[in-house]
Amino acid sequence: MANRNRFKRSVSRHLPFGEKRDTRFYGMHIVSVQQFDRQDLDTIFEVAREMRSMVERVGSFDLLKGKVLANLFYEPSTRTSSSFAAAVQRLGGSVLQINNVTFSSVSKGEVLQDTIRTMESYADAIVLRHPEEGSASIAASVATKPIINAGDGPGEHPTQALLDVFTILEELGRIDGLTVTIVGDLKYGRTVHSLAHLLSLYDIRLHFVAPDILHMPATLVDNLKEQGMAPCEHVNFEEVLPETDVLYVTRVQRERFDDLSMYERVRGSYVVAPETMASAKARMIVIHPLPRVDEISMQFDDDPRAAYFRQMEYGMYVRMALLALVLGKA
Ligand code: NCD
């Protein structure tokens, strides 16, 4: 709880939709899920639902007309980058896309802080993906405009975790009381670091399944225990599959390995396929932040429990909600 409020600013302004909308998000950096409480999540998800219904009815609208979002990506991205771009454009704003930093001044040796100062002179908020853990926090320490962490190395990926929780809610109707099993690369997977923290705000049973060298970091597990969670750690996922309501599958993060022979040793440890899912409940979901490599067979894609493609769409509504809340005009 110590740093839950670290990135909040005390401003009091009114958002343009819903008279008594909470304004505590205005101008906020989104760096870590640890800055959110249950009430924050309820607000974000309520706005995300409004965004969904607006998109379904009218496609795009003018809530953030004139606002510019900088998408600053030092690592590859398909979904995060394009869903933020689509989100701001559906809200009437525009996007400044910096994808290939080798064509920017970063390749001349510019430090992150200077690149952030540059981008914030042109944009109203910056979405940042960077290979170093802590980079979003460094960016937020110099920025006067909101920084949204889109993945800081193996650290966190808060907006992904928010969309993961929103997906569970929309698909299963609740979070409390569920059994969630997170399987794959729990050591380097930033999405699962954020997700585990966020799930600690709910009353759930949590299982971690990973190969011996890819366990959830001990400090994170200790932190969850301090918050009253009792995650069970396993190597074999078949033993927890029958009781699982949400199976969160992740890719082994090849780019984080110094020794690729270790990657080869653990890749393909778990594969979701029609045969492996035979013992799972009929009403449960399989989600994945994507991209998948070999951990979910394409043969499973037509199964109604395969929610990972629907999850991508929920992501755009959650990112629209975050942009609307952070950039909402008086
Ligand atoms: C994830 C990421 O970049 O951390 N992807 C995403 O944002 N949807 C997961 C991954 O790359 O494995």
In 135-258, where do the E strands start and end? 147-152, 179-183, 205-209, 232-234, 246-249
What pLDDT does residue 1 have? Answer: 39
Across 243-260, average pLDDT: 96
Predicted confidence (pLDDT) per residue in 140-170, tens digit: 999 999 999 999 999 999 999 999 999 999 9
What pLDDT does residue 19 have? Answer: 42
What is the pLDDT confidence band of residue 173, given thresholds at 50, 70 and 90?
very high
150 close to 128: Cβ distance less than 8 angstroms: yes
What pLDDT does residue 22 have? Answer: 58
Which residue's C-alpha comes closest to atom 12 of ligand 1? 251
Task: Measure 291 CA to ligand 1 centroid, in angstroms.
Answer: 7
223 close to 156: Cβ distance less than 8 angstroms: no
CA 115/CA 138 separation, integer angstroms: 12
Across 257-270, average pLDDT: 94
Predicted confidence (pLDDT) per residue in 175-200, tens digit: 999 999 999 999 999 999 999 999 99
What pLDDT does residue 23 have? Answer: 81
Q: Which amino acid is at 1?
A: M
What pLDDT does residue 329 have? Answer: 53
Question: Has residue 13 got a pLDDT over 70?
Answer: no
Predicted confidence (pLDDT) per residue in 91-138, tens digit: 999 999 998 776 677 777 889 999 999 999 999 999 999 999 999 999
Across 285-300, average pLDDT: 97
More confident residue, 201 or 12: 201
**Residue 149 DSSP class:** E
Q: What percent of the chain has pLDDT over 70?
A: 92
Question: Has residue 216 got a pLDDT over 70?
Answer: yes
CA 237/CA 89 separation, integer angstroms: 41
What pLDDT does residue 101 have? Answer: 72
Question: Has residue 3 got a pLDDT over 50?
Answer: no
Among 290, 295, 312, 318, the mutation site with the greatest number of ligand 1 atoms within 8 A of its Cβ is: 290
> Which residues have C-beta atoms less than 6 Å from ligand 1?
79-80, 151, 157, 160, 190-191, 251, 253, 289-290
Task: Measure 290 CA to ligand 1 centroid, in angstroms.
Answer: 6
Closest ligand 1 atom to residue 129 Cα is 3
What pLDDT does residue 177 have? Answer: 98
Across 13-19, average pLDDT: 43
The model's pTM is 0.93
Which residues have CB under 8 Å from 46's CB, separation 6+? none
Among 80, 128, 187, the mutation site with the greatest number of ligand 1 atoms within 8 A of its Cβ is: 80
CA 117/CA 145 separation, integer angstroms: 9
Among 191, 193, 256, 292, the mutation site with the greatest number of ligand 1 atoms within 8 A of its Cβ is: 191
Which residue's C-alpha comes closest to atom 7 of ligand 1? 80
| Domains of the chain with CATH codes | 2-156+315-326 (3.40.50.1370), 158-312 (3.40.50.1370)
Task: Measure 282 CA to ligand 1 centroid, in angstroms.
Answer: 27
Query: How many residues are given for the chain?
Result: 330
Task: Measure 15 CA to ligand 1 centroid, in angstroms.
Answer: 31
- The three-class DSSP label of residue 174 is coil
Closest ligand 1 atom to residue 157 Cα is 4
**Residue 30 DSSP class:** B
HSE-up (13 A, CA, CB side) for residue 57: 7
Closest ligand 1 atom to residue 79 Cα is 8
Q: What percent of the chain has pLDDT over 90?
A: 88
